[in-house]
Structure 1
Amino acid sequence: MAAHDPGTRYGPALTLLASLFFMWGFITVINNTLLPHLRSVFELSYTQTTLIESVWFIAYFVASIPSAKLIERIGYQRSLVTGLLVMAAGALGMMLAASIPSYGVTLLMLFVIASGITLLQVAANPYVAVVGRPETASSRLNLVQAMNSAGTMLAPMFGAYLILGRSKGGTAQGEVVLTQAERLADAQSVILPYGLVAMVLVVLAVVIARFPLPAMGASATRLAKEERKKHSLWAHRNLVFGIPAIFIYLIAEIGVANLFVNFVSQPDIANLTHEQAGRYLTFLWGGMMVGRFAGSAIMQRFDAGKVLAAFSIGAFLVMMITVFTHGEVAMWSLILVGLFHSIMFPTIFTLGIKGLGPLTEEGSGLLIMAIAGGALVVVQGWLADHFGLQTSFLLTAACELYILFYALWGSRPTHALPDQQIG
């Protein structure tokens, strides 16, 4: 373990990794403007619409273990390049899906893009968590995740302008039934934005391929098989309860983001067009960016678990306001949940791997796999179809209560091993 500050040595690498966090945040949130667009193009129910996002997050469950195996075989740097190229291939496939147009091909290409992002997630999150002092891991990952939020904040403007703003369904007031010709024209509005995304991903892959990215080193690799038998991941309470915490948090975050445009467009909420509502989505993700920058600073002075508890209480309160009020109050309370959601993923992640020592890599893989919880957003779609869109946000409020439980009790480490640190 080096005596100098690891943050200085690894600063350039962390800066480059921050660009990856930005890009996968950007691409993930394009879905939030894409979903209402596809709902009108293919005349989908809320259940069918949220199924699109479910396919996206199923990729995390399917691709996480293969991603970890690939990293072991070809290393972190080549895996990052491979992930970017897989994403670029999926973006090009989205152009094909729009040209046909095809709901099935769209689902397949979104799965491909999400698989590429999964590979990036499995590599980048644990890397950032172990680069530097263990006690500031939550602060460090929140800071880098703020770049992810910068991508999520800009994506709605990009999607609202290039997708919703250039389509009949996106600029119409309220729900609209499109003719066959209008649906075809609307579908093709996806071609340009995904073409631009593919170009940026290829350029970023070339940059990373040529960058001297430091190796994680022997201190962060897996234990030898015989040594590994002496330890159990399941002896660590913070990991055992952290996996469902990530899973449940994703249900909350993705449910809010995916149904935001449809919710605020309703006559008794804000009565906006989908294009206008897509612009307000920027404030939701902007709140997440601000919250992560603020959370990074706060956690330099306060315990990460206590900060997580405070934010989960705030999230629960604003979701109850969203469910039981109308008009702009309901809209702005839903926007405000982005601020409270901001620190949840990076903080749960770092609390979950705390005290895992040389088991950190395996624990990280399981936490990334739990991102598949976003696939259960289809449950909220079903609730919206059967009980009303506004009532469906009670599911989100329930999710916040589990995060509170995790912050107060579930995140406390048991059988802690010496923390890992690169430097």
Structure 2
Amino acid sequence: MAGTSPQTKPNVAATGHDTTKSYTGPLVTVTLLFFMWGFITCLNDILIPKLQQVFTLQNWQAMLIQTAFFGAYFIISLFYFIFSVTKGDPIMRIGYKNGIIVGLTVAATGCVLFYPAADTQSYGFFLLALFVLASGITILQIAANPYVTILGTPETAASRLNMTQALNSLGTTVAPLIGGYLIFEGAEAVAEANADSVKMPYLGLAGALLLLAVFIKVSRLPHISGEGKIVADAGALKYRHLVLGIICIFMYVGGEVAIGSTLINFFKLPEIAGLDEAEGKHYLAFYWGGAMIGRFFGAVALAQFRNSNTKYIVMGLIAAVVFVTMFSVYGLNEALITLGLIVLNFVVLLMGRFLPNRTLGFFAGAVMVLLLITSFAEGTTALWAVVAIGLFNSIMFPTIFTLAIHGLGVHTSQGSSLLVMAIVGGAIIPPLQGYIADVSGNLQLSFLVPLACYLYIMYYGFFGSKPKHVEADLTTE
């Protein structure tokens, strides 16, 4: 990145550091965070039908779960941005490591609050617990995402963030299976009567988050902070590609969360599959699992290899592992469908020529086609179309994030807080889709709401992501 000289002491403010060092150990440690918040976020998709069942909620009311969760992203990030403008960036002051520990502690507190929420049988209390939990995740997002992009060369930042986000997707993949069992099946005796079945899963998460905080505390992570170069201004907003990227994150998270939150009820439709919650959780896992597979593909595709053939060999091995796993667990039919979707994903990657901005644009176009099929087809065609969206969602968040903060220099962390603020899209778009479903009486047609989000993402990939204020450009060949 620009602005670094041989005499510059490594720090985030200069956005320069010793890229000759190996950051594999720190990256592995930080990757654990991505897994945990992916697991927690996806549990909302299980929590929605559960609390809808307990409190007899309409679709838009149940979607307030996502509003409370993702609304915290906006409010906490807004306070963070205001503080950074007036007093200087707080993460730059305390360092990324301490910021991560604070985020884990706050998230654990939110998990603990689920116990009294279940005891009081209060939907409002659940929303408060989700808000506190998401506040901690927000702090983690602000600290961890730019931290990953900084630990290495800027040319491979998108690849690194895709790899860590792949572990985030692993969390979202196993969450429906584990959470679905614990909340719907493991507590069958109380499943219809009350919300007691959520107590132990969230207490377990609280313990895991606190253990992870201790692990981060004793780990030897590089200390990257402001080093006396903290600035108090709103300089990040002068970057056009960041401002457009903020809107893009809003659209992406809103669209992704709206789709994932609707899937269980979508699978229950008799014209689609007629599955109950316990059966539907497997296809929800396929949806999030596709995001994981796609992010591994994206990490390899956007990485730099001395031998270009190595890239294709690694991607082929990933596809083979996925096929064998699907065949072993679900059978030949599911394995072949998954393999076909992976081949389609690879074709779209080739169309993007492994360039972050082009790949983003083509992936958004693919999702738009799949959403049209979801909205107007029936049966297994519609089912697998919506499941396949996860595979093409895969590279979007890390790629948008990397493109948006590229070249921000001392404003990198501030830009990160603005991007995390935009995750509030997950609080606004899902209730909108739920409202359209309630008013129209047609859950399928409500998928046209996220389709509009992906139209903007396609624009950002092809046009809006091109930096105007930096010499280096991730989007050019």
Instruction: Using structure 2 for the length normalisation, give the TM-score.
Output: 0.80
Asked if 1:193 corresponds to 2:201, the answer is yes
Whether the 8 Å contact between 1:314 and 1:340 is mirrored in structure 2 is yes
Q: Does residue 1:365 correspond to 2:417, yes or no?
A: yes
Task: Verify the 8 A CA contact 1:7 1:131 in the aligned structure 2.
Answer: no
Alpha-carbon separation, structure 2, partners of 1:316 and 1:252: 11
Query: Which residue of 2 is the match for residue 409 of structure 1?
Result: 463
Q: Is the 8 A contact 1:97 1:103 kept in 2?
A: yes
Secondary structure in 2 matching 1:9 = coil
Change (3 A) 1:200 1:384: same
| Cα distance in 2 for residues equivalent to 1:235 and 1:103 | 41
Q: Could you tell me whether the CA contact under 8 Å between 1:80 and 1:120 is conserved in 2?
A: yes
Amino acid in the other structure paired with 2:302: M
1:384 aligns with 2:437: yes
The residue number in structure 2 matching 1:396 is 450
Displacement of 1:74 in angstroms is 3.2
The equivalent of 1:285 in structure 2 is 288
Quote the Cα distance in structure 2 between the aligned partners of 1:247 and 1:101: 32
Structure 1 residue identity aligned to 2:406: K
In structure 2, relative to structure 1, the CA distance for the partners of 1:413 and 1:45 (3 Å cut) is same
- Aligned residues of 1:27 and 1:155 also touching (Cα < 8 A): yes
Instruction: Please tell me whether residue 14 in structure 1 is matched to residue 66 in structure 2.
Output: no
Counterpart residue number, 1:304: 356
Identify the residue that residue 173 of structure 2 maps to in structure 1: 153
In structure 1, the residue corresponding to 2:195 is in which secondary structure? helix
Q: Which residue matches 2:401? A: 349
Q: Is 1:136 aligned with 2:189?
A: no
Contact 2:95 2:224 in 1 (8 A): no
The answer (yes or no) to whether the contact 1:249–1:345 under 8 Å persists in 2 is yes
* Match of residue 274 from structure 1: 277
Query: Aligned-pair RMSD on alpha carbons?
Result: 2.3
Amino acid at match of 1:193: P
Question: Which deviations, in whole Å up to 9, do the C-alpha atoms of 1:364-389 show, x marking residues without a partner?
Answer: 11111111111112111111111221
Kept after mapping to 2: 8 A contact 1:94/1:109:
yes
1:50 aligns with 2:63: yes
Mapped contact 1:222–1:362 kept (Cα < 8 A): no
- Name the residue aligned to 1:331: 383
Instruction: Give 1:310 deviation, angstroms.
Output: 1.4
8 Å contact kept, 1:323–1:390: yes
Following superposition, the deviation at residue 418 of structure 1 comes to: 6.8
> 1-side partners of 2:236 and 2:93: how far apart?
23
Aligned equivalents of 1:265, 1:56: Cα separation in 2: 25
Once the two structures are TM-superposed, the CA of residue 166 in structure 1 deviates from its matched residue by 3.5
Moved more, 50-59 or 6-15: 6-15
Mind listing any 5+ residue stretches in structure 2 that lack a counterpart? 1-5, 11-15, 305-353
Q: Which runs of 4+ in 1 moved over 4 A?
A: 1-5, 65-70
1:30–1:155: 8 Å Cα contact kept in structure 2?
yes
Tell me what 2:243 maps to. 240
Greater shift, 272-281 or 352-361, is seen at: 352-361
1:211 alignment counterpart: 219
1:67-216 aligned at under 5 Å gives the runs: 67=80, 70-166=90-186, 183-184=192-193, 186-216=194-224
Matched with 1:39 is: 52
Cross-structure match for 1:315: 367
Partner Cα distance (1:203, 1:233) in 2: 35
Per-residue deviation at 1:183? Answer: 4.4
Aligned counterparts of 2:93 and 2:18: Cα–Cα separation in 1: 30
What is the alpha-carbon distance in structure 1 between the residues aligned to residue 448 and residue 289 of structure 2? 23
Q: How many residues align?
A: 403
* 1:141-197 deviation line (CA, Å, top 9, x unaligned): 11111110011111000111100213559xxxxxxxxxxx8644x411111211211
Q: Is this contact kept in 2: 1:162–1:193, CA < 8 A?
A: yes
Question: Are 1:262 and 2:265 counterparts?
Answer: yes
CA contact (8 A) 1:42 1:183 kept: no
* Most deviating of 90-99 and 142-151: 90-99
TM-score of the aligned structures, taking structure 1 as reference length = 0.90
Asked if the contact 1:57–1:372 (Cα under 8 Å) also holds between the matched residues in 2, the reply is yes
Q: Which deviates more, 63-72 or 137-146?
A: 63-72
Counterpart in the other structure of 2:349: none
Preserved contact between residue 223 and residue 359 of structure 1 (Cα < 8 Å): no
